[in-house]
Amino acid sequence: MEKIKMLNAIAELDGDEMTHVLWGMIKDELILPFVALNSEYYDLSIQSRDKTEDAVTVKAAEAIKRLHVGVKCATITPNLQRQEEYHLKKLWKSPNATIRAMLDGTVFRTPILISKVKPVVSCWKKPITIARHAYGDIYKAVEYRVPGPGKAELVFTDEKGHETSRQTVYDFKGPGVLQAMHNRDDSIISFARCCFTYALNVKQDVWFSSKDTISKDYDQTFKLLFQKVFDEEFRSQFEAAGLHYRYALIDDVAAKVIRSEGGMIWACKNYDGDVMSDLIAAASGSLPMMTSVLVSPDGNFEYEAAHGTVVDHYHKWREGKPVSTNPLATIAAWAGALHKRGELDGNEDLMHFADCLSKAGVDVFEAGYLSEDLARLCDPAELREMPENGRLLHLIRERLEALLSA
Ligand code: NAP
Ligand code: MG
């Protein structure tokens, strides 16, 4: 079979540990035999980031901006233990944080559902997508451990040096904690645009939640800006597509989502999205089955699996023991990136290949060949085999070949 050609390149961001091993296997078995892969390769392994003083991460993010599409493997975010383990010069920043800051994007997370693994919430029929604002709030907060009695104030000085606001936060009589956080109108507006654009793309409703009854300036601003973007830029397109936008308090939405059948985009502020995406993933079946795409307001897309480097599997693999890691979210990331490249280039063959690629993985799982994490969750009568990584990818390749020649 002739390999599918790619007009333009994608940025390929390789990573660490077990997911790095899987990355190579996925390419060898599922991509390179079928596609004349056109990618700009960036090695984001912890060793390469350490060697380049993290310049490689910045180069990779720039490549995503230039090429508009990237696919990323899971990477280590170093802590003190990792610094010792890998003899690092420094505790390098999370690559995801660097990339998100450079792309100013919104992260959309959607679980992959398999009929053999029933969601914990029995009324969920369709996947729920969490759209997480990836800028500001506690992730860019300034904090202070208050040592003892004293007054904490919030002061704003305008660019001409005039103090325009001063409020007492608290009069401390003893030790405590203090935090100041911020967000920007332009970032909130692009968050709203990303959510509505993505919703039109996948034809789903948007639910946005915050706590504007308590946070009368901060969360209220989010609510008003979302409504403004919707009314001015998206209302008519939503009406034409039969889609809806609704705002509600976060506790109200949390309760409604549990009673829904799913199939909507739940837009969340940064911290809410961090928590809710893990909750939705676990309740949908399993953490490793979560896909993730970072969408920037100017139309750049970075696809990845939401899980980490699966370090415990890596240690077993290095000891030569068989491991059964779930590859579906990483395969979905490749499929997502290739599909988007196909859409942008008008490359039907590439889009068709990407569809077959994600279907092949799901089909193999549906047939009862499940990686260990899901094998544990399904009815034993429905489990045919729990294949180790090499065999699992081989099964997926066979299915992919069948789908492509159909
Ligand atoms: P993790 O790698 O996601 O693994 C946590 C646990 O989830 C694993 O021990 C495993 O459970 C299960 N799991 C995750 N992915 C799986 C898969 N594909 N197949 C089967 N089981 C899977 O998270 P972590 O252990 O907290 O973090 C490890 C490293 O990854 C850290 O250095 C962290 O910085 C990094 N990380 C990177 C990203 C990213 O790049 N996006 C995200 C999160 C974490 P069992 O032990 O029960 O098998
Ligand atoms: Mg989280």
Q: What is the model's pLDDT at position 121?
A: 87
Q: Of all protein residues, whose CA lies closest to atom 18 belonging to ligand 1?
A: 326
| Cα–Cα distance measured from residue 123 to residue 108, given in angstroms and rounded to the nearest whole number | 22
Handedness of CA 26, 29, 32, 35 (dihedral sign): negative
Q: So what's the pLDDT on residue 278? A: 86
Residue indicated by tokens 């007054």 = 151
Residue indicated by tokens 């035999």 = 33
Ligand 1 site, CB within 6 A: 74-77, 96, 287-288, 304, 307-312, 325-326, 371, 373
- Look at residue 140 in the predicted model and tell me its pLDDT: 87
Nearest CA to ligand 1 atom 41: 74
Question: Considering every ligand atom, which ligand is closest to the CA of 292?
Answer: 1
Please give the structure tokens belonging to residue 214: 């308590």
Reported pTM: 0.88
Distance CA 127, CA 261 (A): 9
Q: What is the pLDDT of residue 89?
A: 96
- pLDDT score at 187: 92
Task: Note the pLDDT of residue 302.
Answer: 96
pLDDT value at residue 308: 95
CA of 279 to the centre of ligand 2 (A): 9
In this prediction, residue 117 carries a pLDDT of: 84
- CA quadruple 35, 39, 41, 44: dihedral sign: negative
pLDDT of residue 193: 93
Confidence (pLDDT) at 345: 97
DSSP code per residue over 45-68: SHHHHHHTTTHHHHHHHHHHHHHS
| Amino acid 204: pLDDT | 96
Which of 310, 365, 389 should be mutated for ligand 1, with most atoms under 8 A from CB? 310
pLDDT mean for each 10 residues of the chain (406 residues): 94 98 98 98 98 98 98 96 96 92 88 86 91 89 96 97 97 98 95 93 95 96 98 97 97 94 96 91 84 89 95 97 96 97 97 98 95 90 93 98 95
State how far the Cα of 135 lies from the Cα of 269, in Å rounded to an integer.
9
| 19 close to 309: Cβ distance less than 8 angstroms | yes
